[in-house]
Chains A and B, each alone.
Chain A
Amino acid sequence: AQSVAQPEDQVNVAEGNPLTVKCTYSVSGNPYLFWYVQYPNRGLQFLLKYITGDNLVKGSYGFEAEFNKSQTSFHLKKPSALVSDSALYFCAVRDGASGSARQLTFGSGTQLTVLP
């Protein structure tokens, strides 16, 4: 069965500092990995995805994520955090193995707070 873990419920970072939101996954086949962000009382917004190719994926609003197959991780990063980045971030995975469940499985979410 596929699963994804976000080990930190809360991440605090000062504005202007780099930020990292951690994500690890478990699938039987090739992983399809996604990051989404949710602002209060809103639906989820897509940030970026990894399907294949370069391990460093660039996405919206200056975010990027690094795929590490050996560590089964897909951490979200941004070189310089903004107060407006404060939101709830979700990592998600879909197993690319044939015959596997095709639904998207989400992590528990990480609340990012950027302090001015």
Chain B
Amino acid sequence: KAGVTQTPRYLIKTRGQQVTLSCSPISGHRSVSWYQQTPGQGLQFLFEYFSETQRNKGNFPGRFSGRQFSNSRSEMNVSTLELGDSALYLCASSLPGYIGTSGYNEQFFGPGTRLTVL
């Protein structure tokens, strides 16, 4: 079974631009979560989607948004990029555990998209 795929793997943008990252979950997984990983802040939860609905959202500004499609694929968008948005963005998929969220099921992570903002 294919793992979680993320595209692109690397991105370089300049301040003020916007970016869209894509994630394809493992077949059959309907829950998708996004995380930001930086050396200073570690792994921080961005949001979680199930059945095209956002179930949870972390403490990030409104510039960060996401969506999920009917085939469970997900995208996240960052508008008006800032230097501090440079990070590894990780997507994870899982089987829903309860009420459509990951619950007690482990998440399977993609390799990430490395975003550099200049």
Contact = CB atoms under 8 A, between A and B. Distances in A.
Interface residues of A, number: 23
Given A36-B109, A102-B56, 20 more contacts: A32-B103, A32-B104, A41-B111, A43-B90, A43-B92, A43-B109, A44-B109, A45-B109, A46-B106, A49-B106, A96-B104, A102-B99, A102-B103, A103-B48, A103-B58, A104-B33, A104-B45, A104-B102, A107-B42, A109-B43
A103 B33 contact: yes
Interface of B: 4, 33, 35, 42-43, 45, 48, 55-56, 58, 90, 92, 99, 101-104, 106-112
Interface in A23-50: 32, 34, 36, 41-46, 49
A102 B101 contact: yes
A45 B104 CA distance: 16
